[in-house]
Amino acid sequence: MKIDGKTVRERIEEREKAYLSPLATKSSETKGRKRYEEPCKLRTEFQRDRDRILHSKAFRRLKHKTQVFFSPYDDHFRTRMTHTLEVSQIARTLARALELNEDLAEAISLGHDLGHTPFGHSGERVLNELMPDGYRHNEQSVRVVQFIEDLNLTEETLDGILNHSYQCLPNTLEGQVVRIADKIAYINHDIQDAIRAGIIKTEDIPQESINYFSTTNRIRITKLVNDIVETSYQQNKISMSEECFEQFIKLRKWMFEHVYNNSPAKLAEDKAQNVIRRLFEFYCEELSKTYPNSDNNIIMQTACDYVSGMTDRYVLIKFEQNFLPSPLKQQNNDEFLYKLALMNGLQK
């Protein structure tokens, strides 16, 4: 379909050049994909990335992966998927206000946590201990989209996914937007969830933070977003003002002391980590028997790919099947494990 001799995509690309900031990443100037593909007539390259991530299996599994609270029965607690959607909303708002590429920010947001394990950071920590080179969910997220699901994303989206963690800095401003939106989202929604769980009360929040940010989630987020826009507009780095950053770091530190570490939210952490450790070791043994001529590091990577991709529910189902007695013979459906084995090149 063409309008005035141009495709819809070409018209969108022209609007990007005309209306976005000179600092924005233009979809027509992408560094491209690992494998070349003919351009879409309707969507820009970053819109295609967003759609591929949204339709991926890994994205669907986020709805049953822990954010902070293990397997919550209360539907109002966040899961990894609802966290991802909140990050996307904040990132899109920031990108739009800063005249950056909203489609790229959305694509990175939707893909940034695809490599998270079951049971949240507890699962990540135990795999980090078990894997020879450690385990980092941002690197696994890239492995998911690039190797396991082979989405053939653009370099800009991959860079944003890889570098969304605190110790990294994305090459694009859109990636930096997602990086800071991720922090805003999880601190704010984890306060709400911790209050709902009875771990903290609103009045427990430090008075200095209440005075600066308020006790209301939407007001706190609005203040942070407005500060970032005012500080970062037409700048080559996305950041908060010095005062806002200082207050945000104090609130984050308080959350680590009172919610993320040494709180009732962590009572089941040892049990959760034991489940993942036992399954990982079990699948390493199974793969070693099936593929005796294969490198042990590749066997461990295959087991890691399989276990890290599981949801909280599925990892418990597999633990029950493999370690708990059952009156009936159950069939272990581990077809994807052996598909991963072939993909990773294990040898019989």
Q: What is the C-alpha separation between 345 and 302, in angstroms, rounded?
A: 10
Number of H helices, E strands in the chain: 16, 2
Does 242 lie in the same domain as 122?
yes
- Within a domain: 129: yes
Does 71 lie in the same domain as 117?
yes
Q: Which CATH number characterizes residue 189's domain?
A: 1.10.3210.10
Final residue belonging to a domain, choices 213, 236, 266: 266
Cα 238 → chain centroid: 19
Full DSSP string of 230-241:
HHHTT-SS----
Tokens representing residue 137 in the block: 């969910």
- pLDDT score of 1: 63
Q: What is the C-alpha separation between 73 and 64, in angstroms, rounded?
A: 11
Question: pTM higher than 0.85 for the full model?
Answer: yes
- pLDDT score of 183: 96
* Amino acid letter, residue 202: T
- pLDDT score of 77: 81
Q: How far apart are the first and last CA of the chain?
A: 51
Does 317 lie in the same domain as 229?
no
Domain holding 196, by residue range, is 2-266
Does 177 lie in the same domain as 140?
yes
* Amino acid letter, residue 253: K
Q: What is the C-alpha separation between 77 and 111, in angstroms, rounded?
A: 21
- Within a domain: 348: no
CB 323 within 8 A of CB 276: no
CB 186 within 8 A of CB 83: yes
Q: Which whole-number Å values give the CA distances from 83 to 37, 45, 106, 149, in the listed order?
A: 31, 25, 13, 22
- pLDDT score of 261: 81
Tens digit of pLDDT per residue, the chain (348 long)? 666 779 999 999 999 999 999 999 999 999 999 999 999 999 999 999 999 999 999 999 999 998 776 655 667 888 999 999 999 999 999 999 999 999 999 999 999 999 999 998 899 999 999 999 999 999 999 999 999 999 999 999 999 999 998 788 999 999 999 999 999 999 999 999 899 888 899 999 999 999 999 999 999 999 999 999 999 999 999 999 999 999 999 999 999 998 888 666 667 788 899 999 999 999 999 999 999 999 999 999 999 999 999 999 999 999 999 998 876 556 678 899 999 999 999 988
Q: What is the C-alpha separation between 156 and 263, in angstroms, rounded?
A: 38
- pLDDT score of 347: 86
Q: What is the C-alpha separation between 312 and 318, in angstroms, rounded?
A: 10
Q: What is the C-alpha separation between 164 and 271, in angstroms, rounded?
A: 29
Tokens representing residue 12 in the block: 């969108």
